[in-house]
Chain A
Amino acid sequence: MNGRKSFKDDEFSFDMNTMTGISSAWSETKIKERVLTQFNQTRARRNIINATAVYGLSFCAILVLFCLFNIIFHLLVQGFSSLNRDFFLQLPKPVGEPGGGTANAIVGTLILLIVAVLVGVPIGLGAGIYLSEYAHQRFAQAVRFTTDVMNGIPSIVFGIFAWTILVVPFKSFSALSGGIALGIMMIPMITRTTEGFVRMVPVPLREAGLAIGTPKWRVIKDIVVPSSLGGIVTGIMVSLARVAGETAPLLFTAFGNHFWHSSLLAPIAALPLQIFSYAISPFEDWHRQAWAGALVLILIVFVINLCSSYFVGRQRRMFSSHK
């Protein structure tokens, strides 16, 4: 602080000198020198602060990458050797019999995600559009607060909720209850991202629509939603990737199944459940299968994320072509 202040003072006195015309060569060079050294000092200090900040931040970024790659590397090392044709095509085998796969769990996870999308997307999408386009401030604030709270609820609570309203009354665990539990988890995430992206559509774009006499609902349907579609889809994909790895909500809903599911009203296998029960067993062979399962799960999430970044890219290209 001190150095900076004195620099300012010097600057002031320098100005005073030139303005009043009292210019002696000696004093001018001396003042210039002083200003320059002061300036250099502060510059050095700034450089240090700058460097610390940049390196500190990039260290954090590298740490993030390191964690992610460490996990992926670990999964590849432990799981890759167990990935083979059987793993994708066979049903699980009991202890002591080598081989076997998790075909039913892979398919089960995909079905659970489809059900989750069917439940979560329409509601989340509708709520998000409503919040952005129609809602009164106070009501919107209330809904936003609720969705934020819902985002923070531990996922097992969604499972118990689905167990209470869907499993107990029907006396059976089911794929449907598992998918609905996941779908409910997706709602708050989709609501918030949809609202955000829809709100970002420029007002002149809407006004252009309204100006030629288009009703509001058509402006939303044909202008607002299509132009923010990339962002909306990304939000859906991200929430989908998040629920894909959830175990807790499935324990008391989808339940798990060693066989192919017979219908959506019967228990169904899911990768996270399979990984969980294999990982806590005392058997080496099952541990290997658990690693392979984890690898497949992370690949599914990875593919979902790739799709979402494709949509973001498309969104960006669309907007840049508008300009």
Chain B
Amino acid sequence: MVRKILGLTLLIGLCSTTAFAAVLINGAGATFPYPIYSKWFDVYHKMNPEIQFNYQSIGSGGGIKQITAKTVDFGASDGPMTQDQLNEAPGRIYHIPMVMGAVVITYNVEGLDKNLKFTPDVVADIFLDKITNWNDPRIAAANPGVRLPSGSILVVHRSDGSGTSYIFTDYLSSISSAWKAKVGKGTSVNWPVGLGGKGNEGVAGLIKQTPGSIGYVELSYAIKNDLDYAELENSSGHFIKPDLDSTAKAAQGVKIPDDFRVSLVNSSNPDAYPISGFTWVLIYKDMEDHVKGKAIVDFIKWAIHDGQAYTEDLLYAPLPAEVIEMIEKKLEQVKY
């Protein structure tokens, strides 16, 4: 009898709700912005204890699927939803940019004392398996004075579907007609050459271990893992080192469409790093739940203003002022 009572108390204790009337808002999607989202949600929860944001990084594709099925209150993605996906959703979905990120070309070549420089056609041809050796004259042409070793190039790409791959293949499609015709863009594509690694950390790990390898990861992973990364020639002919500033430039002086579903790769801004992009949250224009809807809109307003201060520490590029203005106007149309 005593045992039964003990067991029952334990059961009730475990199942009993930690009782405070909080609003729990669930979101799911992209892995890339997870660190900053979790930081934002934590700070925001401390300021507004009654509001809890719960974000799970299940991948961009998962985020789109869950918001379409309405199992979450908001989704998140690194690639914009296609027109077909938007038509499939039971309501009008808005894309709201939150921060910007960059994809860098990272490599493992021994004996270099400065960053390599790549022109777009060289990048495309390496990933198309047309340039296969590090001492290729076309690589050397952009790197005068650098002694490049002889050795074959090992291409590393993502094996899983990812927003990072989307931005990178979007870039390759925009600069190379051969890539566009042969491979195209997408969260997972049929790579002409190379080894697959799972996730940013998988690619970073493979490159770290394999001399002669080249691949692409989010900027923050390259910095955190101490990888070398290349300066890239942009559309204005300047070699640009990827950093937060040159990433943010990609959205400045560029026409941003009203629905924010825009590709920022190969930006026309002369100081912009060419493989940059937004990461979006996905919300319904007409929110069913007044309390949750208001909380989400209030949070986004906070994130695009005060929240941007947290971007630098976590290696994201902040939104440019003109985009923030556009988002504010957009949020006014959201009904809750």
26 A-B contacts (beta carbon < 8 Å) = A94-B35, A95-B39, A96-B314, A97-B42, A168-B69, A171-B70, A172-B71, A173-B72, A251-B58, A258-B42, A258-B52, A258-B54, A258-B55, A259-B54, A260-B17, A260-B18, A262-B18, A264-B15, A267-B26, A277-B34, A277-B56, A277-B57, A280-B201, A281-B35, A282-B201, A282-B224
Are B24 and A267 touching (Cβ within 8 A)?
yes
Give A residues with C-beta under 8 Å from B.
93-97, 107, 110-111, 114, 163, 167-168, 171-173, 251-252, 255-264, 266-267, 273, 277, 280-283
Are A255 and B220 touching (Cβ within 8 A)?
no
Are A282 and B69 touching (Cβ within 8 A)?
no
Residues in A with CB closer than 8 Å to B45 are 259
Closest-CB distance, B298 to chain A (whole angstroms): 18
| CB contact list, B181-240 vs A, under 8 A | 199-201, 204, 220-221, 224-225
User: Which residue, A94, A107, A263, has most C-beta atoms of chain B within 10 A?
Assistant: A94
Q: How far is the CA of A251 from the CA of B204 in the complex (A)?
A: 25
Contact of B34 among A255, A260, A267, A281 (CB under 8 A): A281
Q: How far is the CA of A129 from the CA of B71 in the complex (A)?
A: 39
Residues in A with CB closer than 8 Å to B201 are 280-282
Residues in B with CB closer than 8 Å to A263 are 17
Are B26 and A114 touching (Cβ within 8 A)?
no
Give B residues with C-beta under 8 Å from A.
11, 14-15, 17-18, 22, 24, 26, 28, 31, 34-35, 38-39, 41-43, 45, 52-58, 69-72, 199-201, 204, 220-221, 224-225, 313-314
Are A259 and B224 touching (Cβ within 8 A)?
no
Q: How far is the CA of A107 from the CA of B18 in the complex (A)?
A: 12
Are B11 and A282 touching (Cβ within 8 A)?
no
Contact of B22 among A251, A252, A262 (CB under 8 A): A262
Q: How far is the CA of A94 from the CA of B35 in the complex (A)?
A: 7
Residues in A with CB closer than 8 Å to B34 are 277, 281
Q: A173-B71, A282-B224 are in contact. Are A258 and B38 (CB under 8 A)?
A: yes
Q: How far is the CA of A93 from the CA of B220 in the complex (A)?
A: 20
Closest-CB distance, A258 to chain B (whole angstroms): 5
Q: A168-B71, A262-B24 are in contact. Are A95 and B14 (CB under 8 A)?
A: no
Are A282 and B221 touching (Cβ within 8 A)?
yes
Q: A111-B15, A173-B26, A282-B200 are in contact. Are A257 and B54 (CB under 8 A)?
A: yes
Chain A binding surface SS class: loop
Closest-CB distance, A291 to chain B (whole angstroms): 15
Q: A95-B314, A261-B17, A280-B199 are in contact. Are A256 and B54 (CB under 8 A)?
A: yes
Are B11 and A114 touching (Cβ within 8 A)?
yes
Residues in A with CB closer than 8 Å to B221 are 282
Contact of A266 among B24, B28, B35, B55 (CB under 8 A): B24
Q: How far is the CA of A96 from the CA of B316 in the complex (A)?
A: 14
Are B42 and A93 touching (Cβ within 8 A)?
yes
Contact of A282 among B53, B70, B220 (CB under 8 A): B220
Residues in A with CB closer than 8 Å to B14 are 107, 110-111, 114
Residues in B with CB closer than 8 Å to A280 are 31, 199, 201
Q: How far is the CA of A94 from the CA of B314 in the complex (A)?
A: 11
Residues in A with CB closer than 8 Å to B53 are 258
Residues in B with CB closer than 8 Å to A252 are 58
Q: A171-B71, A255-B28 are in contact. Are A94 and B38 (CB under 8 A)?
A: yes
Are A282 and B39 touching (Cβ within 8 A)?
no
Closest-CB distance, B282 to chain A (whole angstroms): 16
Are A259 and B22 touching (Cβ within 8 A)?
yes
Are B41 and A95 touching (Cβ within 8 A)?
no
Q: How far is the CA of A259 from the CA of B58 in the complex (A)?
A: 18
Are B41 and A258 touching (Cβ within 8 A)?
yes
Residues in A with CB closer than 8 Å to B55 are 258
Q: How far is the CA of A255 from the CA of B35 in the complex (A)?
A: 17
Residues in B with CB closer than 8 Å to A273 are 56
- A280 to chain B: closest residue by CB: B199
Q: How far is the CA of A257 from the CA of B55 in the complex (A)?
A: 8
Are B39 and A94 touching (Cβ within 8 A)?
yes
Residues in B with CB closer than 8 Å to A107 are 14
Closest-CB distance, A255 to chain B (whole angstroms): 6
Are A283 and B15 touching (Cβ within 8 A)?
no
Residues in B with CB closer than 8 Å to A282 are 35, 200-201, 204, 220-221, 224-225
- A254 to chain B: closest residue by CB: B56
Closest-CB distance, A170 to chain B (whole angstroms): 9
Contact of B54 among A171, A264, A267 (CB under 8 A): A267
Closest-CB distance, A139 to chain B (whole angstroms): 36
User: Which residue, B55, B56, B57, B314, has most C-beta atoms of chain A within 10 A?
Assistant: B56
Q: A277-B56, A283-B35 are in contact. Are A259 and B24 (CB under 8 A)?
A: yes
Residues in B with CB closer than 8 Å to A258 are 38, 41-42, 52-55
Closest-CB distance, B293 to chain A (whole angstroms): 15
- A168 to chain B: closest residue by CB: B69
